[in-house]
Amino acid sequence: MRVAIAEDSVLLREGLARLLADADFDVVARCGDADELRRALRDEVPDVVIVDIRLPPTHTDEGLQAALDIRHDHPGTGVLVLSQYVEFGLAMKLLGDSAEGVGYLLKDRVSDVPEFLGAVRRVAAGGSAIDPTIVSTLVSRRRNDDPLGPLTRREREVLELMAAGNSNQGIADQLVITVRAVEKYVSSIFDKLALPATGSESRRVLAVLLFLRT
Amino acid sequence: MTAYDLPPERLERWLDRWAQQHGGVARTESQAAAVTFTAPDGATVRCEPPFPPLDPASAPGDPPFAALLAHVRRPRTVGVVLVRLGGYGVGIFEGPSFPTVQQISLALLGLAPVAFVAGLIHAQLARTAIGDLVVELRADPADLRTSLARALRDPSLKLAYWLPQFGSWADQDGKPVALPIDRRRVTPIEGKGSHPAVLIHHPGLRNEPELLDSVVAAAAMTLETGRLQAELRATVDELRASRERVIEAGQKERQRLERDLHDGAQQRLVALSLSLGVLQGKLVANPDLTAELSQARQQIAVSLAELRDVARGLHPAVLSAHGLAVALESLAARAPVPVRLSVNVNGRVADATEVAAYYVVCESLTNVGKHAEASSARVDVDQSGGQIVVEVVDDGRGGADSDHGSGLRGLADRVEALGGCLRVWTSRDGTRVRAELPCA
């Protein structure tokens, strides 16, 4: 699996590259800024790019802009955005109208190596990886007419894992239950929230985020 | 030889100058045999020899000229002047042109009532203007300049005070004023105070010295009040600008700190955590070490979370990088209650304005969580007519107060420093915070 990295901190860039290489990824480009990444993509289009949201020269939106451009120009390439902070507004901007092949994670997540590699593979394969803090913040809001009220505790757990982009298998592994059980929870959640069933695992990410936003 | 034994050209020049000094026009007839003087109000007086003795170097003080002067100073005496001049003119002068002179004099006498009435009307108008001015000034006018401009019938009139502590001339609003190079447009006002003030007016007002003198005299009465007002306003402007600079400098400093944290401690901790993670992967065979590494990673994660909060508190990086809409969407998502958000802003606006708008929403939503017992809130941000209006409304039980809550007070400072205003309404049905921020 070919991967390109754009990260201006040398320490982190090289750490990531080594981590990925050790896990048998083919690191085709290591870039210090967004322009370098764009040039690299002209030579070779990888399966997934990992982009720091804050890149030179202004350290403002260069990384996000590059991510959006790549999503537009290379729909087959997964885009995983890393950031020191995750913001719901940025997640919505990055996702646009589809969560397919897109990830948005706190940089801290790289230290949980197996989890992180799982997220990279998922995004490369067209799935999604949304930082769990985004969903947990939305879910923890106090409200009188809580639309999540009818959900059981287990269903809430499944909802959060689902919104983070986990597959049914992934949810089953984390909760140590069967995939069949996960499927039952998912369909019950969609019923209770009156959401139309989506089928696709990345489409349900967006559906849940949009539902929680209101 | 002519009157006063002066060569005609010299007499003409002298009379011209004298007439101009008094705002009128002098016209000498052939060989200075007679002088026609037209006063500023249009009244005409003709003087004929023998002129009374007069020292041309000094101001004229003898009967015809003194009378003319009186005509200028006190228009009501014009009739008397004419009669007396008539007395001088008719019958005394003898010579070939006498019948003509006599006819002209008689014609002048015939015209006298018209000139008299015209003079009266003009004088009346001027007096009324001065009278109104004095009344207005007594009533302590809010705007001395407008009153003076009305009295002088010069809408372009400016009033400038010398403000020693700023080392500059300033208008009544405390804004700097440059004095015109044309000195005919500048008339000093002698007030009781030690610092000068000037009127900057139309040069034509030089032709109405009496009016100008009276207005200046009236203005002098309230000059000090006006100066204090100008000083106060200049000081307020200075304070506002300095408050804006202080807030901006603070903001820049916080932004720099946030950046330092991001590029320094945060990056290093992430890299360290990554190394530990990699190490942990290589030590699967040793569960004790793995558990310890896991614990270390956990502690780094807590530190990173704390640093993130500090960094966010220092400066909302998402705002400067991605603008109000994205930053507010994130704020709304983090809010303790559901928020209905609507942002209508055309692209990016000035940093300070964005930051102020952001903090208005941030602080208001924090208050909603802390005090209001609200179940929902609404945030509207609209850009229109050169300003951004931010409104945060909740359905709680009210109680927000910009005088007691230090957060709201700080917000008001920030908003006012930009020339905007912050208002808070609170009732048992909820709280409404509204900030109006100018944006160019």
Among chain A residues, CA nearest to B307: A84
- Is B270's CB within 8 Å of A145's CB? no
DSSP state letter for A196: P
A21 and A89 together in one domain? yes
Q: Does A93 touch chain B (CB under 8 A)?
A: yes
End-to-end CA distance of chain A: 38
ipTM over 0.85: yes
**Is position B35 within any domain?**
yes
B334 shares its domain with B307: no
Single residue among A90, A105, A130 that ends a domain in this structure:
A130
* Pair (A101, A119) in one structural domain: yes
What was the pLDDT predicted at B84? Answer: 32
What is the structure's pLDDT at B75? 37
Contact A110 B276 (CB under 8 A): no
Question: Which residue in B277, B322, B329 is closest to A113 by CB distance?
Answer: B277
Residues B254 and B207 in one domain: no
Task: Give the residue from B391, B384, B304 showing the smallest Cα distance to B342.
Answer: B391
- pLDDT for res B3: 44
Nearest to A84 by CA among B26, B32, B304: B304
Same domain? A155 vs A178? yes
Contact: A93, B337; criterion CB under 8 Å? no
| Cross-chain CB nearest to A87 (options B266, B330, B338) | B330
- Residue B134, in any domain of the structure: no
Domain membership flag for residue B353: yes
Q: Cα separations (Å) of B213 from B73, B146, B190, B194, B285?
A: 11, 17, 11, 20, 104
Residue A213 pLDDT class (50, 70, 90 cuts) = confident
Give the domain extent around A61: 2-130
In a shared domain, residues B121 and B14: yes
pLDDT digits (tens, 9 = 90+) for B148-175: 888 888 888 998 988 888 888 888 888 8
Between CA B417 and CA A30 the distance in angstroms is 46
* Co-location of A42 and A122 in the same domain: yes
- Tell whether A82 and A116 lie within a shared domain: yes
Instruction: Report the CATH number that the domain containing residue A156 is assigned in CATH.
Output: 1.10.10.10
Q: Say what percent of chain A tops pLDDT 90.
A: 80
Contact A19 B274 (CB under 8 A): yes
B187: containing domain: 144-233
Cα B130 to Cα A62, B209, B214, distances in angstroms:
68, 13, 7
In a domain, B139, yes or no: no
Task: Kindly state the percentage of chain B with pLDDT values over 90.
Answer: 32
Chain B residues in contact with A107 by the CB 8 A cut-off are 266, 270
Q: Do A114 and B281 touch (CB under 8 A)?
A: yes
Among A82, A103, A130, the domain boundary falls at A130
Least confident of A22-31, B127-136, B204-213: B127-136
pTM over 0.80: no
Contact at CB, A22 and B275, closer than 8 angstroms: no
Q: Which of B321, B328, B376 is facing A61, going by the closest CB pair?
A: B321
Q: CA nearest A145 in B: which residue?
A: B375
Same domain membership, residue B182 and residue B76: no
- Span B40-78, pLDDT tens digits: 666 666 666 555 444 444 444 444 454 455 444 433 333
d(Cα A39, Cα A145) in Å, to the nearest integer? 51
A114 in the same domain as A186: no
Count of structural domains, chain B: 4
- B314/B324 Cα distance (integer angstroms): 17
How many structural domains comprise chain A? 2
In which band, very low, low, confident or very high, does the pLDDT at A203 lie, cut at 50, 70 and 90? confident
Shortest CA distance from A111: residue in chain B: B274
More confident residue, B247 or B404: B247
Q: Which whole number is the average pLDDT over B86-114?
A: 46
Q: Is residue B131 part of a domain?
A: no
Q: Name chain A contacts of B268, Cβ cutoff 8 Å.
A: 11
State whether B99 and B193 are in the same domain. Answer: no
User: Are the Cβ atoms of A145 and B297 closer than 8 angstroms?
Assistant: no
Domain assignment present for B194: yes
pLDDT tens digit sequence for B228-276:
888 888 898 888 889 889 989 999 999 999 999 999 999 999 999 999 9
A69 and A123 housed in the same domain: yes
Choosing from A78, A95, A130, the residue where a domain stops is A130
From residue B191, give the alpha-carbon distance in Å to each of A150, B162, B219, B332.
81, 12, 8, 60
Question: What is the DSSP-derived secondary structure letter of residue B380?
Answer: E
pLDDT by residue (tens digit) across A30-54?
A: 999 999 999 999 999 999 999 999 9
Rounded Cα gap, residues B365 and A28, in angstroms: 46
Specify whether B324 is located in the same domain as B416.
yes
Whether residues B302 and B323 fall in one domain: no
pLDDT > 50? residue B436: yes
How many Cβ atoms are within 10 Å of B412's Cβ, its own excluded?
20
Residue-wise DSSP of B145-191: HHHHHHHHT-TT-EEEEEETTTTEEE-TTS-B-PPPS-GGGEEEE--
Q: Are residues B270 and A89, on separate chains, in Cβ contact within 8 Å?
A: no
Looking at the domain assignment, is residue B265 inside a domain? yes
**Probe site for chain A from B283, B330, B331 (most A CB atoms < 10 A):** B330
Our CA-based measurement puts residue A85 at a distance from the nearest CA of chain B, in whole angstroms, of: 7
Contact B387, B420 (CB under 8 A): yes
Q: What is the pLDDT of residues A69-104, one digit of tens each?
A: 999 999 999 999 999 999 999 999 999 989 999 999
Token output for B398: 């009210």
Q: B322 and A213: CB-CB below 8 Å?
A: no
> What pairing do the DSSP bridges indicate for beta strands B339-344 and B377-384?
parallel
